[in-house]
Every structure is written in C-alpha cells, then in structure tokens.
Amino acid sequence: MLPFILFSTSKAFYTPISLAGRLLGAGQEVIGRNAGPAFRRLGGLRASSKPAGTKRVVFLGTPDVAALTLSRLLAASKDGRGGGFDIVSVVTQPPAPSGRKLKLTPSPVQTLAESEKVPVLCPDKAKDPTFLSALETLAPDLCITAAYGNFLPSKFLAIPRYGTLNIHPSLLPKYRGASPVQRTLQAGDTVTGVSVLFTELKMDAGPLLAQVPYPLRGEEKAPELLQTLFTAGTEALLEALPSVWDGTARLVEQQEEQASQAEKIRAEEAQICFERESALRVHNKVRAFAGWPGTWATFEVAEEGEKEGEGKVVRLKIVTTRVGEGEEGVGAGRVVGVLGGKKGGLRVRCGDGSVLDILEVQPPGKKVMDCKSYANGLRGRSLRWRPKDAKEGAAAA
C-alpha cells in the first residue's frame, strides 16, 4: 500500500485522502508545513477575479514515459478530472535520428499528440524567441513537464499563470538530476518514489506539491520502474490540481542539506568487472542500466584443451541476474556452474567470494535468451570471464 502525500498547513495533521483511479494503493498520509516564498505567486491567485472554468495546459515531454503521462492527462481531461483542464498544446524535442539508417523519428510524445490531434511544438531549445512567442500566444494557465529534456529559462517560467509543475521520479531532494531511477537502483535503495514540484531555475529544487513513496523488492529494472513512478506521479498531480486552481494548495520547500545528485549515465559504466564488484553490486547495476546502456562483460569460449587466452572472445550483454547463495572459492569471474530449473542460469564468482546467478544474456546479434539455453549452445565448451583489458571480439559462441 503506497501513501499519497499532499502537503498541508500543519505538521501534526494526518488524515486519509482519496486518490481515485490510482493503481498503487489506497493508504494515504498528509504531512507538511506552510509554503515559503516560492509559493507567493500561487498564494496571490487566491484573490483572483478570473471566473472558474476549464484551464489551459501545455504539456512538455519526450520519451515513452512522458507519452504515458500525456495519455493519462488526456484521458483525465476528457473525464473532467483535475478540476477541469484542456491540453491545448504539446512541446517535445525535435525528431532525432534513429535505427541503422538514422531516419529522423518523432518522439513518442509527438507521435501520441499528433494521433490525438493536439498541436505540437518542437523547439531546439526552450529559450528560442519564436517558441516563447508562440507559448505566450497560447496563454497557458499551467505547464506540466515529464522527462522533457530541455532547460526551461526564466522567460519560459514567467509565462504560465499558475507556474510549471514537474513530475520527477525520486523522493526529492534525493536524486536530483538526469538519472534518478537508475542511480536509485544502482545504490540498492529499498524505497524510492515520485515527486510533483513546481519548477524553478535550479534543477529539481522547486517546492514540493506531492510525493508518492514506493517500496522496492530488489528485483525491479529501470524501464518498468520508470513507468510505475510516472503513472503514480501523474495521478498525484491530478489529485492535487484542484488545490492549485483554487489557491488552497500548500507546498513544502526542499531541504538543501539533504539534496543529492543523480548524474547522467555514461556508456562506459556498463562494463562489469567481477573481480572488483560484488554480486550485489553487479545485480544492482544490471537492474539500473536495463534498457540503456545495458550491462555487459567479455567472456572466452574455449574448446577442451585450449589454454586461457586461446579461446574465442565473446561480449555478452547481461540482462537478468540475482544474488546467489553462499560463496565459491575459485578465482573471480570464473563460471562455477550451470544452474538447474526451468530456465537455469550461469553462476559466477565475484572478487569478494559472493556469487552471481546470471539468468538471461544476449549474445552478439541474437535475441535475449535464458542462460540454460545459452549453456546448452556451448556444446561442452567452457566459458570464462576475461578481464577489462582483454581484447574484445564480436564473435558469438
């Protein structure tokens, strides 16, 4: 059961709040305190004479998870949820080269918006004067961002009447930055969550409107967890929107001393070194880097009688793992056994003696397969890990 957290005017006030349509649990807790200076603009709107009515919202996002959020917002708009609003336009990054032929491909958000007949803007940068002029013409009451991927300048933030709300997949102020979900999983955290906050010039540092904690089992992978968190964040935003429109919302300022950064993932982080990494660390890295950039290691496939360094070198993508039980006494990176069971797997010893069970791999040029099938395909040949300085090959075993 996941608590939905709205920030109230009293630290001591706790009460259940309904979150209609949310799939992630119904137990809820309200906590918080009075908002600081960052909420003065919203506070001033309380006395506004603007008649009640459908609000104009511009959505900004780019990848699949942002398209998931846009889809839910469009559905909510049709159903009259969130206090009544329309998505009057969508902003996304321009089409980018994709595939082997590097064909210009629109973002998932653009594809969805066009299918729903929603106008689309694709500026290279959000500071582009032509784009800012177009945004002013749209006269949005609110902007909503979800994984947009562009810096929003002060001229942008000054345009929407009620400000800009962002859905960020971490429990801010923890894991500000580009890769919060990946860094959460890599660190082996037991709890994560999603925050809804107002955007300020400093990245992910604005006041919080709502948060949804999410406990982790230790098996989640980044792509699926991202979808779960953005779904929860969208529902939290929809539940909170009426309080934004009528000026009764209260925000919580982030505690700067508790802030941490989630640096952008680099491709070179994806290589596994069984000698220097424990089984748990490798397992968490596999979970964190699933999708992109993936994790991989170089192995050697040797015929009977071939000495170390004489076999065929193969780079295997490590897709699914678990931490094995017990310890093994042979050298780091050695494949010490083939696991039984329906799918089976390969058991590898790490440098600290812990063992990693590799359940799924992807050989070069092939689809993901369970390790029992891969082991059967070796036809009696041995498989052993090659250190990082080993010469890599593209051959498949």
| pLDDT tens, position by position, 5-18 | 443 323 222 222 22
pLDDT in tens, 151-203: 999 999 999 999 999 999 999 999 999 999 999 999 999 999 999 999 999 99
Is 8 inside any structural domain? no
Q: Do the beta carbons of residue 338 and residue 361 sit within 8 Å? A: no
pLDDT at 41 over 80: no
User: 44 CB contacts (<8 Å, ≥6 apart)?
Assistant: none
pLDDT at 360 over 50: yes
Q: What is the pTM of this model?
A: 0.84
Is 25 inside any structural domain? no
> Does residue 159 sit in the same domain as residue 281?
no
Give the span between the Cα atoms of 291 and 271, in whole angstroms.
14
Give the span between the Cα atoms of 107 and 117, in whole angstroms.
15
Task: Report residue 309's pLDDT band, with 50, 70 and 90 as the boundaries.
Answer: confident
Candidates 390, 397, 396, 391; CA nearest to 275 is 390
> Does residue 284 sit in the same domain as residue 206?
no
Task: Report residue 333's pLDDT band, with 50, 70 and 90 as the boundaries.
Answer: low
Q: Do the beta carbons of residue 236 and residue 212 sit within 8 Å? A: yes
Q: Do the beta carbons of residue 165 and residue 137 sit within 8 Å? A: no
Give the span between the Cα atoms of 289 and 221, in whole angstroms.
8
Q: State the pLDDT at residue 344.
A: 63
At which of 262, 283, 304 does a domain end? 262
Is 4 inside any structural domain? no
Residue numbers of the domain that contains 331: 267-385
> Does residue 228 sit in the same domain as residue 281?
no
> Does residue 285 sit in the same domain as residue 217?
no
> Does residue 126 sit in the same domain as residue 224?
yes
Question: Which range in 1-15, 47-61, 137-151 is most confidently predicted, on average pLDDT?
Answer: 137-151
- Number of domains forming the structure of the chain: 2
- Residue 41 backbone dihedrals phi, psi, to 5 degrees: -65, -45
**CB half-sphere exposure, 4, CA atoms < 13 A:** 23
> Does residue 176 sit in the same domain as residue 151?
yes
Q: State the pLDDT at residue 202.
A: 96
Vertex 103: Cα angle to 99 and 104 (nearest 5): 120
> Does residue 229 sit in the same domain as residue 326?
no
pLDDT at 75 over 80: yes
Is 391 inside any structural domain? no
> Does residue 303 sit in the same domain as residue 237?
no
> Does residue 243 sit in the same domain as residue 131?
yes
We report the CATH number of the domain holding residue 118 as 3.40.50.170
Q: Do the beta carbons of residue 353 and residue 330 sit within 8 Å? A: no
**CB half-sphere exposure, 217, CA atoms < 13 A:** 5
At which of 262, 287, 316 does a domain end? 262
Mean pLDDT of 63-92: 97
Is 247 inside any structural domain? yes
Q: State the pLDDT at residue 49.
A: 35
Task: Report residue 248's pLDDT band, with 50, 70 and 90 as the boundaries.
Answer: very high
> Does residue 275 sit in the same domain as residue 300?
yes
Is 9 inside any structural domain? no
Is 3 inside any structural domain? no
**CB half-sphere exposure, 377, CA atoms < 13 A:** 15
> Does residue 201 sit in the same domain as residue 278?
no
Task: Report residue 384's pLDDT band, with 50, 70 and 90 as the boundaries.
Answer: confident
At which of 229, 262, 295 does a domain end? 262
> Does residue 120 sit in the same domain as residue 89?
yes
Is 135 inside any structural domain? yes
We report the CATH number of the domain holding residue 275 as 3.10.25.10
